[in-house]
Amino acid sequence: MAITEDAPPGADERQPVPPPGADERQPVPPPGADERQPVPPSGADERQPVPPRGADERQPVPPPGRQTPRLDSPLLLVLTLLLAVLAQSPIRGLLGTPLMQSWMTVFVAVTVQALPFLVLGVLLSAAIAVFVPASFFARALPSRPALAVPVAGVAGAVLPGCECASVPVAGALVRRGVAPAAALAFLLSAPAINPVVLTATAVAFPGHPEMVLGRFLASLLVACAMGWLWQRLGRTDWLRPPEHGTHEGATKGETFWNAVRHDTVHAGGFLVLGAMAAATLKAAVPAHWLGAAAGTPLLSVLALAVLAVLLSICSEADAFVAASLTQFSPTAKLVFLVVGPMIDLKLFAMQAGTFGRAFALRFAPATFTLAVTGAVLTGAVLL
């Protein structure tokens, strides 16, 4: 009994000791935690009002900014006209110099001569893209790709269209089951050998029918060669199936006028750039520089080939730019006329968007090489 009586008190004496110790240790963290906890809220409270006040200070700023006049298109036009009126004397003096008069003469001549053919080509191209069904090409072309390539190349002469329209038309052909080799032959030949382009070439080079014939033969030869080359070496995974046209679902009238507006704006812009470049080469570049480049056959050919890629002029207008480059040989001009409608900067972008970048990276260099080679060989025989 004594043992049992001593054990519980001993156990009772040992049991309460930890709780007070625990109680003594437990309240220590809470005060410390309580002392640390209020600091972040107070610090946060001190920091939180700063952004709202800063935000409140920044919010009233936009309303006054919106009340001030913005630099939109009408205001920019008015400011440009006012600046032109105020600076009319210096502008008149600048335009009166012989250099600027020569520049303006070449620029206006190239633009005025090429603009009617550009408009006609855009109208015909839009009409063909809208009103001629793609199934017509599938029925008209032979089933064998080797025979379909030259037929598609010759079809480019019957169905005119600028290079801006030939890419979506070729995409529609591939989408409707036409052999890619035949579609690519049409893609290259249509903007280069159609009646509008050949007529413009004859007007730009009066008395030189060999330029028209040379352009026709060289362009058709290169288009067929590229089609056969793709049929021989092309791979299916290089050619991404083209998506549906952007205007599908709209009426034919809406599609026609949308295509006309789109092609006119884009082709007209490149025509202006090409005319400016031709005028600059004619008026501003020293004659002995052009003479040095034109005097070397290889350099002249490469120079005009690269120039055709960079200028990206519409095929209905490039003949007038080529005719203005009087320092260069007829063969170099022929290279300019053959390369431009087949590969330039805008065509590369359109081909990459329609058929994929893998296709464009392989197709563009091969087209450039064959176009230069075919034009040089044709020029050597005819010119």
The two tokens of residue 324 are 């203005």
Does the pLDDT at position 266 exceed 70?
no
C-alpha radius of gyration, the chain, whole number: 37
Which residue, 130, 139, 238, is CA-closest to 184?
A: 238
pLDDT at 22: 47
pLDDT band at 159 (very low <50, low <70, confident <90, very high): low
Q: What's the pLDDT at 382?
A: 92
As a whole number, the mean pLDDT across the chain is 76
Give pLDDT, residue 289: 79
Tokens of 51: 């952004």
From 85-89, 160-164, 272-276, the region with the lowest mean pLDDT: 160-164
Q: What pLDDT, on a 0 to 100 scale, did the predictor assign at position 357?
A: 87
Q: Determine contact, residues 374/222, Cβ cutoff 8 Å.
A: yes
CA–CA separation, 41 vs 62, rounded Å? Answer: 32
Confidence of residue 5 (pLDDT cuts 50, 70, 90): very low
Which is higher by pLDDT, 92 or 344?
344
> What distance in Å separates the CA atoms of residue 64 and residue 70, rounded to the nearest whole number?
12
For residue 17, CA distances in Å to 12, 30, 42 come to 9, 21, 38
Q: How far apart are CA 375 and CA 97, in angstroms?
A: 39
> Does the pLDDT value for residue 285 go beyond 80?
no
Does residue 189 register a pLDDT over 70? yes
Give the residue with greater pLDDT, 2 vs 380. 380
Task: Name the percent of the chain lying above pLDDT 70.
Answer: 71
For range 196-212, the mean pLDDT: 93
What mean pLDDT do residues 342-369 have? 87
pLDDT > 80? residue 341? yes
Query: What pLDDT score does 133 carry?
Result: 73
User: pLDDT-derived band of residue 35, with 50, 70 and 90 as boundaries?
Assistant: very low
Q: What is the pLDDT of residue 380?
A: 94
pTM over 0.95: no
Q: When comparing pLDDT for 335 and 179, which is higher?
A: 335
Instruction: Dig out the tokens for 343 from the structure.
Output: 């590969």
Q: Is the pLDDT of residue 214 over 90?
A: yes
pLDDT above 50 for 10: no
pLDDT over 70 (residue 56): no
Residue 139 in tokens: 């029925």
Top mean pLDDT of 136-145, 208-217, 241-250 is at 208-217
For residue range 118-145, what is the model confidence (pLDDT) as tens digits? 777 677 767 766 777 766 766 778 878 8
Instruction: Look at residue 238 in the predicted model and tell me its pLDDT.
Output: 84
* Distance, CA of 363 to CA of 382 (rounded, Å): 28
Percent helix, strand, coil in the chain (nearest 5)? 80, 0, 20
User: Quick one: angle between helices 195-204 and 180-193, nearest 10?
Assistant: 30
Lowest mean pLDDT among 26-30, 142-146, 370-374: 26-30
Task: Write the Ramachandran bin of 356: left for phi over 0, alpha for psi from -120 to 50, otherwise beta.
Answer: left
Q: Let me know: does 224 contact 170? Beta carbons within 8 Å.
A: no
Residue 72 confidence (pLDDT): 58
